[in-house]
Structure 1
Amino acid sequence: MAFDKKQLHILFFPLMSPGHFIPMIDMACIFASHNVRSTVVATPSDASKIPLSKSKYISVVTIPFPSPSLTNLPPDHENLATIRSSMFDLFVSALSLFQPPLQNLIHDLKPDCLISDSLFPWTADLALQFKIPRIIFHGAGVFPMYVSANIFSHFPLDESKEEFFMDGLAEKIKLYRKGLPDMFSNIPFLITMGEAEAKSYGVVVNTFREMEPTYVDFYKGTKKAWCIGPLSLANKLDEEKTAGWIAEKEEVKEKIVKWLDGKEEGSVLYVCFGSLCHFSGGQLRELALGLEKCNKNFLWVVRKEAEGDDVSEKEWMPENYKERVGERGLVVKGWVPQTTVLDHKSVGWFVTHCGWNSLQESTCAGVPMITWPLFHEQFINAEFLVETMGIGERMWEGFRKSEYRKFDDVIVTADEIAGVVGRVMGGGEKYEEMKRKAKDYGEKAKKAVDEGGSSYNDVVALIEELKTL
């Protein structure tokens, strides 16, 4: 396809993981809608799952995933969603091997800007080599990035205390020592990322100012940053843009929507823990029993485990479970159209691991959340939902964390699950106020991405700034 050489050209290089890959595809589509030539770099397996928009300004180029002989990963294990949990470190180590093919691509395509995931710190030097700006994409929001950037002022942490407080801009932030992102145990890598950020031109964030105004204003006062989210909402393409990601079947979507259509408004509890979260067989069983005991309608998505991580359903699923819960419960294994589910009028609450994408999608839909953080920055996000936004209720008080690998490893019991679900879905002034706040945030999210909104204006401002370069 022929392009105007004067047209702004951005190269997007996402991490091979659904939580990072999908929002960057949305981002590329948004820039393409502003007549910016947008090229996405992907491995062949990921590229095959990208339904391109109708825009003539977006395209995909491929580079191979490094050979198993170099990565020590099994063949066809080219995405974080498909590898065994024990291979996470091997996968991250393999990312540096993308440098030579990306260097060749930049040489051939001559883009005006590179937007790359934060976990590719070496792209900062690559961009300097070609004298183009490198902009970082973080999978998290501004609040968790603010916490992460300021956490070192509290080191060394007092190991005799489980929790500590960080002086925030608007309030004190309660954090848990064992709930900090795992990367804080890898100081050399954190230093490398910090050095790469110092060399980079700026940061794009999947958030909108009205969601975290105090922290956005502070963050923008310390570095070049553009808040261009919620990306799932800003990209107006049909939701099937992500359908190929986990081999969605149309009949699965139709089954779910038909089931939701038969439920009263706000009566369904949606339960989903994302694409990377693992549970033990024992915890899955407690969750099943808790959902049965709460006596509420529920749609529960059980993660399709990577080969080698799978826990047999026969080991944990209670006997005759589907018959026992009847039409009140729907259990789906694998992918579901999450934004369609959250937007459905019958969904009243969302039990979530507090991943940033899920948090954003629920906020856009105006659905309050029950927090069940597991790892990475999810414990930080959970505090943000509960204490700052006021649209979340904790599944438990205090701190609990586990590797979730032993079959009998249980963190939350069936009685606790049923108790929290029954309480929040039972109504009352506190929870009605949460629902009101959630709907208000949803309206603000829609306004932010519309023409003249805060996120729309940040996209335009970034484009104009890149043109001047």
Structure 2
Amino acid sequence: MPAEPADGGGSDLISFDGVPNCPVYPWWQLSPIYRSYKKGDPVSEFIRDVMLTNETSWGVVVNTFDELESVYLQHLEGKIGRGRVWAVGPIVPSGPTTDRGGSSKVVATELLSWLDKCQDNSVVYVCFGSQVVMSNLQMEVLALALEKSRVRFVWGVKEPTIENSGSEFGAVPPGFEDGVAGRGLVIRGWVPQVMVLNHRAVGSFLTHCGWNSVLEAIVAGVPMLAWPMGADQYTNAALLIEELRIAIKVCEGRDTVSNANEMAQAMADSLSENQSRKARVLELSRASLNAIQLGGNSSNSLDGFLKELAGLKSVNNSS
């Protein structure tokens, strides 16, 4: 395990030579669990043992598909054992999506009606998942970027939780919604994300790069603007930007305040430039849908996993 930089330098680069493509990350982007490890500490050692036990698992089921991460699935097989890694994704919601999730101040049918009036690939969808609540300063800069970009947009805003309640989080700047009326929608609370991403009007997605959001965007064939903020999101963003080339980075870090002008330009460009990025994500979209069809790689992988489980049950019943 790489040691913490002696000078506390959070920007020191840490490499993982045993992983394909040798990923490199600044120290501060590593998992907090990883960074907080203290040799000899009982809690740290317990967590480390639990993590390492994953490599001795009988098998692993992964929400991904071969065309997306084949080199990493092969690497995982080398750790777990051949035939013991089942890629069964993408697992995303299917069927009606307008009545899923929690509360929202916008009726899904009204949102759909608004999108129907927009031109193809003319809307930037902005959402940072179910956990991130942005600071008011971040909200101000993002609102300014949306205003400067002149693009049409749907902005899903998570309101403050108990952990970050008060006046410093999640506030849409006063007057912003009036200033962008007709061009943008601000939705407080839950957004029917799958429905939005699959609408013909949505041309790009500003996202925190959580894995569920990543897969939903890929299935929908929507390129991404990446703002990873923690956990696995830096790894996901690196995959999207550097390897798959279906996203560009506009910011990174949970507490970082972006440059409004640069973000505005990225939003505008995401709808008007780089057709190759759109072509690549559409190719992955087709591959993802083929993977889960009957006879596809993920469908076959799921069947194989179920047969393995059935075989284990038969052995247990006979013993």
Please tell me the TM-score bracket, short chain as reference.
Answer: 0.7 to 0.9
Q: TM-score, normalised by structure 2?
A: 0.86
Q: 1:419 Cα deviation (Å)? A: 2.3
Residue 171 of structure 1, aligned match among 11, 17, 21: 21
**Per-residue CA distance 1:46-82 (angstroms, 9 max, x = gap):** xxxxxxxxxxxxxxxxxxxxxxxxxxxxxxxxxxxxx
Match of 2:160, SS state, is coil
- Residue 219 of structure 2 aligns to a residue whose secondary structure is helix
| Distance of 1:168 and 1:383 partners within structure 2 | 17
Which runs of 5 or more structure 1 residues have no equivalent in the other structure?
A: 1-151, 405-409
Return the offset for 1:196. 4.1
Q: Could you tell me which residue of structure 2 aligns to residue 193 of structure 1?
A: 50
Letter in 2 for 1:458: S
Report the more deviating stretch, 338-347 or 217-226. 217-226
Query: How many pairs were matched up?
Result: 300
SS in 1 for 2:182: helix
Rounded to whole Å, the distance in 2 between the matches of 1:367 and 1:384 is 15
Contact 1:266 1:347 in 2 (8 A): yes
Change (3 A) 1:237 1:255: closer
Match of 1:444 among 261, 282, 287: 287
Deviation at 1:157, TM superposition (A): 5.2
Sequence identity (%): 32
From 217, 239, 252, the counterpart of 2:97: 239
Aligned CA distance change for structure 1 residues 335 and 313 (closer, same or farther; 3 Å): farther
Q: Aligned partners of 1:315, 1:443: CA distance in 2, in Å?
A: 36
- Aligned Cα root-mean-square deviation (Å): 2.4
**1:412 aligns with one of 222, 235, 258:** 258
3-state SS of 1:192 partner: helix
Q: 1:296, 1:412 → 2: CA distance?
A: 18
Q: Is the 8 A contact 2:137 2:257 kept in 1?
A: no
CA distances 1:351-373 after superposition (whole Å, capped 9, x unpaired): 00010100111011110101001
Distance of 2:113 and 2:34 partners within structure 1: 45
Q: Residues 259-279 of structure 1: CA distance to partner in whole angstroms, max 9, x if unpaired?
A: 111111001000000011121
Structure 1 partner of 2:140: 285
Counterpart of 1:92 in structure 2 is none
C-alpha deviation, 1:176, in angstroms: 1.7
Paired AA for residue 439 in structure 1: L
CA distance in 1, matches of 2:184, 2:134: 20
Q: Quick one: distance in 2 between partners of 1:269 and 1:358? A: 15
Which residue of the partner structure matches residue 455 of structure 1? 298
**2:128 is aligned with 1:276:** no
Asked if 1:256 corresponds to 2:102, the answer is: no
Task: Give the drift of 1:170.
Answer: 5.3
Residue 268 of structure 2 is aligned to residue 422 of structure 1: yes
Q: What's the CA shift for 1:304? A: 2.5
AA aligned opposite 2:253: K
Following TM superposition, by how much is the alpha carbon of 1:324 offset from its aligned partner in structure 2, in angstroms?
Answer: 1.1
1:64-463, aligned counterparts within 5 Å? 152=1, 154-155=2-3, 160=9, 161-167=11-17, 171-187=21-37, 188=44, 189-197=46-54, 200-223=57-80, 224-232=84-92, 236-239=94-97, 243=100, 245-247=101-103, 252-312=107-167, 316-396=171-251, 400-402=252-254, 404=255, 411-427=257-273, 431-463=274-306
Shift in Å, 1:334: 0.6
- Contact kept, 8 Å, 1:267 with 1:296, in 2: the verdict is yes
Give secondary structure in 1 for the equivalent of 2:121: coil
| Contact 1:205/1:229 (8 A) holds in 2 | yes
